[in-house]
Amino acid sequence: MSQKPKISRLASLSGRTAEFIEPMDCKSVTKLADGRRWVYEIKLDGYRAIAVKSDSRVRLFSRRRKSFDHHYPLIVEALAELPEGTVVDGEIVALDESGRPNFNLLQNFRSEASRIHYFIFDLLICDDRDLTRLSLSERRKLLKSLKLVSGRIHIAEQFEASANDMLAAVRQQRLEGVIAKRKDSQYEPGKRTGSWVKYRVNRGQELVIGGYIPGPHGFDSLIVGYYRGKDLVYVARVRNGFVVASRLQVFEKIRHLVSQKMPFVNLPDSHKSRWGDELTAEKMKECVWLRPEAVAQIEFLEWTEADRLRHAKFVGLREDKDVRKVVKETYHDQPFR
């Protein structure tokens, strides 16, 4: 049975209908913020999702307002314990046998449904009251008072530690990274103000799929890049990380995006690569170009001086990302192995 927060502060807040709210973004940083004003969370490797309970119905949305209801029905069912008129922000995560987030498992959401969980890290509306102007600390206090009991729904843990200690723990567990949030931060939908920041420990990020080179089971390699302003910048051809089933699955997702227009501003390659993977004008004759609408999660060894990826590996498709927000992230940590 759902419970409302037992905090009088709620009654004094302005009314607001429970509906989709665009998620607040984190700014990528090269140095993790430290000090008493900051609190830390583990950067979870999953899909950002906004859950809304209104008119006795739960709806689960991606950051782009795409419905997740049919993908994750067990999560939707478990979220029924939320109070009426509630909106929460969180991450859909698949956990492996050791309890670690595993993005690959999340791709197989039907066969791996029992491993999928929802971690809530913010409460935006409760009992049709707007909480976004409260501080993060106040919102978290209200969130904890909900006393959620489902084994699939969790309140993401926050840590008050030094930045160094937090990073050491994340490295030891080989997790993706750290999120730092100012305790006094309001929730600012769709904005990346610096009140929330992210620091990656592994080497991986989202990249836009702009084409492919044909091959067995649809394609031999994906052609990917990131946005620099309005320009899509090519960075790699990705061949690793696929099995037959995943190639077929990805090909079905991208084949309808075929376009006559080459979307990258920096092709053909004019320089020679020491690894022989340059995309020259001659090689481009083999390419099939796509409208840049699909996003892939990619892991890699390092960025080269020529702004290319070495040893890129496909992890999964990201259906929750706005392609125009896919930019180059910064890394100052151990490379992916």
Residue 203 has pLDDT above 90, yes or no: no
Residue 107 lies in a domain: yes
1 assigned to some structural domain:
no
Residues 192 and 272 in one domain: no
Q: Is 183 helix (H, G, I), strand (E, B) or coil?
A: coil
Are both 112 and 166 inside the same structural domain? yes
Residue 3 lies in a domain: no
CATH number assigned to the domain comprising residue 186: 3.30.470.30
Domain of 303 in residue numbering reads as: 204-325
The reply to whether 128 falls in a domain is yes
Same domain for 233 and 216: yes
- DSSP sequence for 12-69: GSPB------PPPPPEE-SS---STTEEEEE---SEEEEEEEETTEEEEEETTS-B-T
Domain count, the chain: 2
Going by the DSSP 8-state scheme, the letter that residue 146 receives in this structure is T
pLDDT exceeds 80 at position 301: no
Which CATH number do you get for residue 302?
A: 2.40.50.140
**Whether residue 162 is found in the same domain as residue 193:** yes
Task: Determine the average pLDDT of the residues in 42-48.
Answer: 93
Percent of the chain exceeding pLDDT 90 equals 71
Of 133-147, 220-234, 274-288, the one with minimum mean pLDDT is 274-288
Which pLDDT tens digit goes with each residue over 170-186? Answer: 988 888 899 999 999 99
Please indicate, yes or no, whether residues 12 and 160 belong to a single structural domain of this protein.
yes
Which of the listed residues 183, 200, 217 is the one where a domain comes to its end?
200
Q: For residue 296, tell me if it sits in a domain.
A: yes
pLDDT of residue 201: 83
- The confidence score (pLDDT) of residue 303 equals 86
Out of 140, 172, 200, pick the residue that ends a domain: 200
Q: Region 262-285: what's the mean pLDDT?
A: 84
> Omega of the bond prior to 83 within 30 degrees of 0, cis?
no
Q: Domain for residue 332, yes or no?
A: no
Least confident of 42-51, 277-286, 298-307: 298-307
Same domain, residue pair 191 and 237 = no
Does any domain span residue 69? Answer: yes
- Between CA 212 and CA 187 the distance in angstroms is 39
What's 307-323 look like in SS3? CCEECCEEEEECCCCCH
Active-site amino acid positions: 43
Write out pLDDT tens, residues 99-142. Answer: 889 887 887 788 888 999 999 999 999 999 999 999 999 999 99
pLDDT band at 15 (very low <50, low <70, confident <90, very high): confident
Q: Which one is predicted more confidently, 149 or 24? A: 24
**Res 337 pLDDT > 90:** no
Same structural domain for residues 127 and 53? yes
- DSSP characters for 90-142? EEEEEB-TTS-B-HHHHHTTTTTGGGEEEEEEEEEEETTEE-TTS-HHHHHHH
State yes or no: pLDDT of 336 exceeds 70: no
Asked whether residue 331 carries a pLDDT value surpassing 80, the answer given is no
Which of 272, 254, 263 is CA-nearest to residue 318?
Answer: 254
Task: Please check whether residues 77 and 190 belong to one and the same domain.
Answer: yes
Output phi, psi for 105, to 5 deg: -65, -35
In this structure, which amino acid lies at residue 295? Answer: V
